[in-house]
């Protein structure tokens, strides 16, 4: 299925509000999805016999660091039967001085591989995934403060009372 067919299929099945836009400038076109619908979209794309995107290649958290301080998640899906690839993107503005983390829906029920990828995104960028079974830090120690891949991350001066030079 071509990129436009997938777009039509999603609008037909899940309504007009699911797709909020598209990016076709680069080498790989990407669909911008409404953040609330991402789990439903992934489930549909995985189970529909016309698409069968059954392999989640990669899930990356991104801090865009623009005027609205957007946080996003990028999903790279691959279909093994059809040998096609698809990029889905969700993003959300998040106030800089907020004490809350940006929140997205987890796709772990659809792709189990998202489990560790989402933990990594939580660990590195502080993105909270609602519905994740075990959202702990994965690469850094549990008591680490801050989220290192955020663009506004400041290196800590002390780690457990030891000065970091």
Strands in 30-33's sheet, in edge-to-edge order, are 19-23, 30-33, 84-93, 70-79, 55-63
| Interface region with another protein, contact rule CB under 8 A, candidates 3-11, 23-31, 37-45, 156-164 | 23-31
In angstroms, rounded to a whole number, what is the distance separating the alpha carbons of residues 61 and 51?
Answer: 24
Any idea what the Cα angle at residue 26 is, between residues 62 and 74, rounded to 5°? 25
Which is nearest to 63 in space by CA: 74, 49, 76, 50? Answer: 74
| CB of 65 vs another protein, minimal distance in Å | 8
Count of residues binding another protein (CB under 8 A)?
46
Judged by CB, which is closer to another protein: 16, or 158?
Answer: 158
Query: Would you mind telling me the total number of residues written for the chain in this entry?
Result: 165
**139 touches another protein (CB under 8 A):** yes
Judged by CB, which is closer to another protein: 16, or 142?
Answer: 142
| CB of 118 vs another protein, minimal distance in Å | 11
Judged by CB, which is closer to another protein: 35, or 129?
Answer: 129
Contact 136, 142 (CB under 8 A): yes
| Interface region with another protein, contact rule CB under 8 A, candidates 1-9, 13-21, 82-90, 157-165 | 82-90
| Interface region with another protein, contact rule CB under 8 A, candidates 5-13, 14-22, 110-118, 156-164 | 110-118
| CB of 12 vs another protein, minimal distance in Å | 26
Q: Which two tokens stand for residue 124?
A: 């590195």
DSSP 50-119: TT---EEEEEEEEE--STT-EEEEEEEEEETTTTEEEEEEEEEE--TT-SSPPEEE--TTT-TTHHHHHH
Q: Which spans of this chain sit near another protein (rule: CB under 8 A)?
A: 23, 25-28, 30, 54-58, 60, 62-63, 74, 76, 78, 80, 83, 85, 87, 97-101, 111-113, 115-116, 124, 126, 128, 132, 134-136, 138-142, 146, 148-149
């Amino acid at each position: 299925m071509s990129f436009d067919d997938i777009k039509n299929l999603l609008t037909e099945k899940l309504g007009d509000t699911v797709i909020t836009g598209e990016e076709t400038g680069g080498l790989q076109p990407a669909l911008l999805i409404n953040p609330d619908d991402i789990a439903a979209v992934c489930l549909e794309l995985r189970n529909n016999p016309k698409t069968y995107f059954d392999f989640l290649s990669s899930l990356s958290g991104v801090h865009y660091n623009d005027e609205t301080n957007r946080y996003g998640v990028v999903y790279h899906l691959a279909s093994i039967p059809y040998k096609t690839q698809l990029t889905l993107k969700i993003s959300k503005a998040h106030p800089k001085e907020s004490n809350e983390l940006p929140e997205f829906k987890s796709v772990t029920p659809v792709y189990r591989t998202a489990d560790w990828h989402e933990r990594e995104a939580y660990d590195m960028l502080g993105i909270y995934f609602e519905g994740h079974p075990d959202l702990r830090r994965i690469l850094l120690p549990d008591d680490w403060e801050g989220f290192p891949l955020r663009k506004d991350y400041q290196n800590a001066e002390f780690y457990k009372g030891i000065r970091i030079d």
